[in-house]
Amino acid sequence: MVQIANNNLFEGIAPKELMDATYRASENFQVRAFFEAKDDIIKAGKYSENEFYEILDALIDAETERKLVSDLLKGKKPLFLYEIVEHLKNFPAKNVVRDIIYLKEQGYIKELIEVKTKMVIKKIKGEEKEVEEKEYFYRYQVKELLDNVIEHYFEPVSIVFNSGVCCHCGWCSSICPVNAINVSADTLDVDDEICMKCGLCYTVCPRSFSIDQAYSTISKLNKTLNFSESMGAYINTYTATTTKEEIKKVRQDGGIVTSILEYLLTHNIVDAIIAVQHSKDLWRPEPVIVESVKELYKTGGTKYANSPSLTIIEKAKNFERIAVVGVPCMMKALFKGTLFPSGLPFFKNIKYTIGLFCMESFSYDNIIQLTKDKFSQEITNLTKMNIDSGKFIINLKNGEEMAVELKEVQSYARDNCHYCEDLTSDYADISVGSIGSKAGYSSVITRSINGDELFSEIIESGLVEVQNLKEVKPGQALAERIAGSKRTKCKPIELRK
């Protein structure tokens, strides 16, 4: 998992400037709210006293750095993020990028977007056509009269839920220091009596403010990564299948996710895994903490109803090393929690993130309704659901397979999925999906060095068989095309204040 180095040493900064910046940082609303709620936070039991001070220290450091960064950019013309990084060489590049995005959200920096139109040749229904394509350029500039700018206060995430864009990942409820948030697959509730208005939930929420510019800049700065506008940063891409018969019996596609997780457990690389199994209601997903291979096999296969998996992260806190499986919005949430507010991840035990491809998910009630409306079946009769080659497919207990066009079931998908731009889990260590691979195989994208090394080891162990995704049909080209179309169709998020 990507982690940003916390900037404890402010090299090259004069002591007076540093003192002044630290003093101003201590007045930040988030720092103050966190500090003033110390007793309530310790009483809530999520963070120990030591962890409390560790988080507070990191919050002050990060805020101090932001004050210094904005001071240094005062009076400069609008600059691209990579230009700002070059300009502020005393600070780690990743820190500068995350600081600018946060300063924008705090109200100190403005984002100027320039749109340019160019003509490109595209293949549409087999025919080459010249079409218009828009390109967006993002520059950032410190606002004038900086001293008079009123810092934005971050609302609790009820604002995200009330705006209809919460994806129910559950991350905010794991983060909240005083346990004020309850998230289920369909609901979110913030207890105003308990909430101490620290805005940490808003800060880490994948649907509050965008980190797309930060992500693409940080990725492009790393010259060892390949970068695809539609599929994000990656190291290698494969089509792969498991060689293990037990996994073949429980898998959705290539059984790659279960193979990776089995390898992590049996090689003592992690102590537990956050995955998803059927609850007592078949096909209603339930996040679980898995410690054994036997339990792991119960999680194989895709449940198309959404699971608020990140609610359970706090419950896995006592495991030293964990891996998390989830859909792209969850991968983004976890990544955002490593960037903001402090660059210090709240749960340092998350060692690997395995992201699934995801075009959309459904509420459990809609999955039941869809099965009735489109197939005249009860959900308990189903042994498998799948989306493949533009079709929604179900398998029944009697061995029968039924399919309808995917577009026929799209109205059953969750509305908030229409605000999602990520098909291939851009923010994961390893991403796995079916698009691009033939039946019985999965497409695999390794993105971080950790993820790439792990998957290479698994290939070497013989647990999976692979080919290069670029060398098979439909392969990477299809995955990139569909990922690109998801980005284009994605609706912009507007929070209703």
Residues that bind ligand FAD (CB under 6 A): 251-258, 275-276, 285, 299-304, 306-307, 309, 325-327, 356-359, 361, 387, 432-435, 442
CB 394 within 8 A of CB 401: yes
CB 237 within 8 A of CB 476: yes
3-class DSSP state for residue 460?
helix
The type of residue at 456 is: S
Residue 257 interacting entry, from ligand SF4, ligand FAD, none, C-beta within 5 to 8 Å by type? ligand FAD
Cα separations in angstroms, 147 against 106, 108, 115, 192, 491? 13, 9, 31, 32, 35
Q: What is the distance between the alpha carbons of residues 182 and 167, in angstroms, rounded to a whole number?
A: 14
Residue 299 interacting entry, from ligand FAD, ligand SF4, none, C-beta within 5 to 8 Å by type? ligand FAD
Q: What is the distance between the alpha carbons of residues 423 and 166, in angstroms, rounded to a whole number?
A: 17
In the bound state with ligand FAD, the residue whose beta carbon lies nearer, of 254 and 345, is 254
Residue 328 interacting entry, from ligand SF4, ligand FAD, none, C-beta within 5 to 8 Å by type? ligand SF4
In the bound state with ligand FAD, the residue whose beta carbon lies nearer, of 25 and 368, is 368
In the bound state with ligand SF4, the residue whose beta carbon lies nearer, of 46 and 66, is 46
In the bound state with ligand FAD, the residue whose beta carbon lies nearer, of 256 and 344, is 256
In the bound state with ligand SF4, the residue whose beta carbon lies nearer, of 46 and 67, is 46
Residue 199 interacting entry, from ligand SF4, ligand FAD, none, C-beta within 5 to 8 Å by type? ligand SF4
In the bound state with ligand FAD, the residue whose beta carbon lies nearer, of 275 and 350, is 275
**Residue 188-227 contact track with ligand SF4, rule CB under 6 A, x = bound:** x-x----xxxxxxx---xxx--------------------
CB 206 within 8 A of CB 328: no
- The CB-nearest residue to ligand SF4 is 420
Beta-sheet pairing, 109-124 with 127-142: antiparallel
Going by C-beta distance under 8 Å and a sequence separation of 6 or more, which residues neighbour residue 118? 132, 133, 135
Cα separations in angstroms, 53 against 47, 64, 358? 9, 16, 38
In the bound state with ligand FAD, the residue whose beta carbon lies nearer, of 26 and 383, is 383
CB of 451 to ligand FAD, least distance (A): 15
Range 413-472, binding ligand SF4 (CB under 6 A):
417, 420
**Residue 134-173 contact track with ligand SF4, rule CB under 6 A, x = bound:** ----------------------xx--xx----xxxxxxx-
Q: What is the distance between the alpha carbons of residues 363 and 374, in angstroms, rounded to a whole number?
A: 16
CB of 365 to ligand SF4, least distance (A): 16
**What is the DSSP-derived secondary structure letter of residue 154?**
P
Residue 432 interacting entry, from ligand FAD, ligand SF4, none, C-beta within 5 to 8 Å by type? ligand FAD
CB 175 within 8 A of CB 344: no
CB of 131 to ligand SF4, least distance (A): 26
Torsion, Cα 234 235 239 240, to 10 degrees, reads -120
In the bound state with ligand FAD, the residue whose beta carbon lies nearer, of 73 and 423, is 423
In the bound state with ligand SF4, the residue whose beta carbon lies nearer, of 69 and 165, is 165
Cα separations in angstroms, 69 against 92, 201, 410, 480, 494? 11, 24, 45, 36, 28
In the bound state with ligand FAD, the residue whose beta carbon lies nearer, of 63 and 422, is 422
432 phi/psi in degrees, rounded to 5: -135, 135
**Sign, CA torsion 185/313/174/39:** positive
Beta strands, E only, 147-262: 181-183, 188-190, 226-228, 232-234, 236-242
**Residue 93-112 contact track with ligand SF4, rule CB under 6 A, x = bound:** --------------------
Residue 409 interacting entry, from ligand FAD, ligand SF4, none, C-beta within 5 to 8 Å by type? none
**Sign, CA torsion 477/483/486/487:** negative
CB 304 within 8 A of CB 385: yes
Residue 207 interacting entry, from ligand SF4, ligand FAD, none, C-beta within 5 to 8 Å by type? ligand SF4
**Residue 294-313 contact track with ligand SF4, rule CB under 6 A, x = bound:** ------------x-------
3-class DSSP state for residue 48?
coil
327 binds ligand SF4 (CB under 6 A): yes
Residue 232 interacting entry, from ligand SF4, ligand FAD, none, C-beta within 5 to 8 Å by type? none
Residue 96 interacting entry, from ligand SF4, ligand FAD, none, C-beta within 5 to 8 Å by type? none
287 binds ligand SF4 (CB under 6 A): no
Find how far residue 470's CA is from the centre of its chain.
25
For residue 144, count CB atoms less than 10 angstroms from its CB and return exposed for 0-12, middle for 13-18, buried for 19 or more: exposed
Tell me which residues touch ligand SF4 (CB under 6 A). 156-157, 160-161, 166-172, 176, 178, 180-181, 183, 188, 190, 195-201, 205-207, 306, 327-329, 333, 358, 360-361, 417, 420
